[in-house]
Amino acid sequence: MTNTINQSIMPLTAKINSSNHLEIGGCDTVELVKNYGSPLYVFDEETIRTCCRQYKEAFSAYKNVSVLYASKAFMTRTMCKIMEEEGLGLDVVSGGEMYTAMNSGFPMGKCYFNGNNKTQDELEFAFYCNIGRITVDNFYELKLLNKIAKEKDRNVDVLLRITPGIECHTHEYIQTGHLDSKFGFDLSQLDEAISLIKNEYTNLNLKGLHAHIGSQIFETQVYADVVDIVLEQFAHIKDKFGIILEEMNIGGGLGVKYTEDDDPPSIYDIADVIINSLKENLLKYKLPEPKLIIEPGRSIINNAGVTLYTVGSYKQVPEGRKYVAVDGGMSDNPRPSMYQAKYSAILANKANSSPDEVVTIAGRFCESGDILIKDINLPITEPGDIFCVFATGAYNYSMSSHYNRVPKPAAIIVQNGTSSVIIKRESYQDLISFDLIPERLTKGVLNNN
């Protein structure tokens, strides 16, 4: 079966040009750094769009399916426009993500609002946006949401998020489907939640269940298992409450390839498993076909993105490692520090040169743990070289910070030899733009207006 985007480390359009430089989207990455500076996030539009189409094609055998992009992976107005053009919906988890979608002109009826502690302001904003669905995570939110809906004299369509009790072999911080989790109703609590909706919280329209089993998943059987668990609950709810649920959201979580050691299944592989499990369990539980909703995020955007850095200082430890420092690190990619994440990389200006030394790539931040890649084989590395880290599209910008008061990098998108800025590079003035000084301390302050 055809490989899909999540199984390739590099963007689809990546190649080495006649100058021995890495090229993406028809653009020389060395020239991109000259034009836009570094660090620089680069996204390949063809890779993003191809992955969206692979998801739609893979699940096309099930007639009633909706693919939502999990926007927490990387959320900008440009991403919203691409998702709209490709026919995907959005999974949003905050007021800021909702606002970004609305501001881009995205059809808000195709947005689902998730999260374990939505604020009252965010829930009211969801009403203002006419968001499509709200996934309710707990009893407090049930009560709060019904109160808001009642005050506005409106009904709202909801899903209930459940904890299915499936533990995937991923980092413990990105497991969300196991029983000891901050997310969702335990299955033993589900009857109480549904009774409240049916008898007391009458401004809530229960449409279905949501179950998310985690992130960076390499196993296919867990997808079959979660379908079985959700449909078993559908059958129970039908028998006990007489409610026929219409939608089942099984989340996303498909793993991606960061290094050659990673071997994730393809989008087609998990689609086959999910659809076959659906067919088997619908028959087993004697249920009508619900709408199937999936929420891929990382697997759509991750391998479309790279980060470009400029090499600076280096240090040879006597009888030890050689450290090579770049002009970014844990503030633009916290994943190695947080998750011990591993990456693949090359020198973009020496893309096809032979690897002659083993170095450790260090970030510029004041933490000993600010290491991007340990012990990587590279050509002889010199100040001014362009270091390219692959598969950085998901969660790098989303989780970036201003640690050490360093401005956030720019992000660009490339296609057919053209490049466009989608996030401007921050300036020092941007860093202080929200700072305030009490009047009693303003003596001698520079006027930066």
Alpha carbon distance 208, 276 (integer Å): 20
Cα separation, 217 vs 225, whole angstroms: 13
C-alpha 19/C-alpha 233 separation (Å) is: 59
Other CB atoms within 10 Å distance of the CB of residue 111: 25
How far is residue 255's CA from residue 361's CA, in Å, rounded to a whole number?
25
Q: Using CA atoms, how far apart are residues 326 and 373, in angstroms rounded to an integer? A: 11
Q: What is the DSSP letter of 188?
A: G
Of 80, 168, 366, 388, the catalytic one is 366
* DSSP reduced 3-state for 154: coil
Question: CA distances (Å), 262 to each of 217, 226, 343, 346, in order?
Answer: 11, 23, 10, 18
d(CA 52, CA 4): 10
Distance between terminal CA atoms of the chain?
A: 59
- Spell out a b/e string for 60-90, using b for 16 or more CB atoms within 10 Å of the CB, else e: eeeeebbbbbbbbbbbbebbbebbbebebbb
Both tokens assigned to 235: 């059958």
The yes-or-no answer on residue 366 being catalytic is yes
Active site residue ranges: 366
